Structure 1
Amino acid sequence: MSAASSDPSGMATAADGKELKQERAVRTRETILHAAAQLFADKGYPSVTILDVAQLAGMTKGAVYFHYANKEALALAVTSEFYRRLPAIAESVEELGLSPIASVAELLMRTALALRDNTMMQAGARLQIESALIGIDLPVPFQDYTGLVRTWLERAVALGELQHSTPPHALARVIVSAFFGTQHISWVLHDRQDIAERVLEVAETVLPSCHDALRTCPSVQGCRKT
């Protein structure tokens, strides 16, 4: 019988116990991370304390400190999760097999909806704005996102789908700047409740040739129906 199996009395072996302990640790870290994200999104980095996080997570300060050394580490973890989720959104768009221009529009719309509906995304966006107040280096913002938009725009030019006086690298920067500026304005004025409509305006204004492509975007059509 292997060391990982149960003994004759039915009690879990040391290996089983270690695995359960690791699973509990992962769940605890996730609970802490989501509590921190909720607080960062609602109150902003300067106003959040480790005690706040502990109370919302339903645990002691010591438990929080066991998993995260300080508030800066929590901010880094939340922001890193934010930037992990952006490529996941992009992958979900790639799987649709849309045209390059439609892919750009769908990426913007799916990101907008995530910012509207997901606390972790809201926290990451706010922490990036407040990065000067955080005593730790956060992930470099927006570069990969801009690079992906540029790649799709270059494909659109190659396919004859996009005819624009601005070259793809510059147009990608403009689109991403307009998008994240729009989400910030929507957040400040309307708690992001109108972000989808505002982002659609950005797509239609910055990419005037995208109207036909927009008809193939699921998220865009869902926005128009609502």
Structure 2
Amino acid sequence: MPQQRRAQATRRAIVVAAAEEFDGAGYDGTPLSAILRRSGVTKGAFYFHFASKEALAITLVRLQGQRWPRLRQRWLRRGIDPLSIAVGMVDEASRLIENDVVIRAGTRLARDRIGRDLAEHRALTEWEQVLTDLLQRSADRGLLRSGVNPDEVARVIHAAMVGVRTVGAERSHGAGIAARAAEVWRVTLQGIATAEWLRSNRFLSTR
């Protein structure tokens, strides 16, 4: 058992070190030597756990991919209106990406060439479909202003979240990922939500 715990700790150290390196330099800009140096493990220990740098990167992509279905299902089961679900779900995902380097690096890699052929890459497009469904349900319930197109809003929000991930990761440029996601919603909601929804959800529309 102690040996198994040591092996798990070593694997975790490699995963976190790789995430930190990939998050900063990307897949192509990260040599295996940098991961070994940051993790403090030998090359032999690395190859005991991972066949290659590519296999490690794919592991990160899959780790982040496992988080989103659970997060979405948890929000979809809440007994609140669909527009509030959309806002809360995206905000929680943004905080998770900002605060968890493994998830952040895995999300970046999923959009990189290393992750394009994986199911986890294709799963990223599910965010837009989920948002489309929630916004259509919001329109059906009279939560959106007249004339608002739920499909267009979903595409705009999804594209904004991709941009938020890229720009917000650069803390030197100002607000982080979660704060920028809140800004996106604050501006968007003023244009798409009804006055009644905004009044009853002021904590969402003004934060």
TM-score normalised per structure 1: 0.73
Aligned counterparts of 1:135 and 1:180: Cα–Cα separation in 2: 16
CA distance 1:214–1:45, change in 2 (3 Å): farther
In the alignment, is residue 118 of structure 1 matched against residue 105 of structure 2?
A: no
Q: How far does the alpha carbon of each residue in 1:47-106 deviate from its partner, in whole angstroms, 9 at most, with x for none?
A: 322232233223211221222111111111111112222223324433543211111111
CA distance in 2, matches of 1:107, 1:78: 22
The equivalent of 1:29 in structure 2 is: 11
Report the structure number with the largest CA radius of gyration: 1
Please give the residue correspondences for 1:98-177 in structure 2 after superposition, counting only pairs within 5 Å. Answer: 98-129=80-111, 131-132=112-113, 134=114, 137-138=117-118, 139-141=120-122, 142-163=124-145, 165-177=147-159
- The match for 2:198 among 204, 211, 220 is 211
Structure 2 residue aligned with 1:11 = none
Share of identical aligned residues, percent?
28
TM-score (norm 2): 0.79
The SS at the match of 2:79 is coil
Question: Match of 1:112, as an amino acid?
Answer: S
Partners of 1:91 and 1:135 in 2: CA distance: 24
In structure 2, list runs of 5 or more residues that go unmatched. Answer: none
Q: Structure 1 residues 48, 109: closer, same or farther in 2, change over 3 A?
A: same
AA at the equivalent of 1:204? R
Distance 1:164 1:80 in 2: 40
Query: How many residue pairs are counted as aligned between the two chains?
Result: 200
User: Structure 2 counterpart of 1:140, which letter?
Assistant: H
Q: 1:192 to 1:114 in 2, by over 3 A?
A: farther
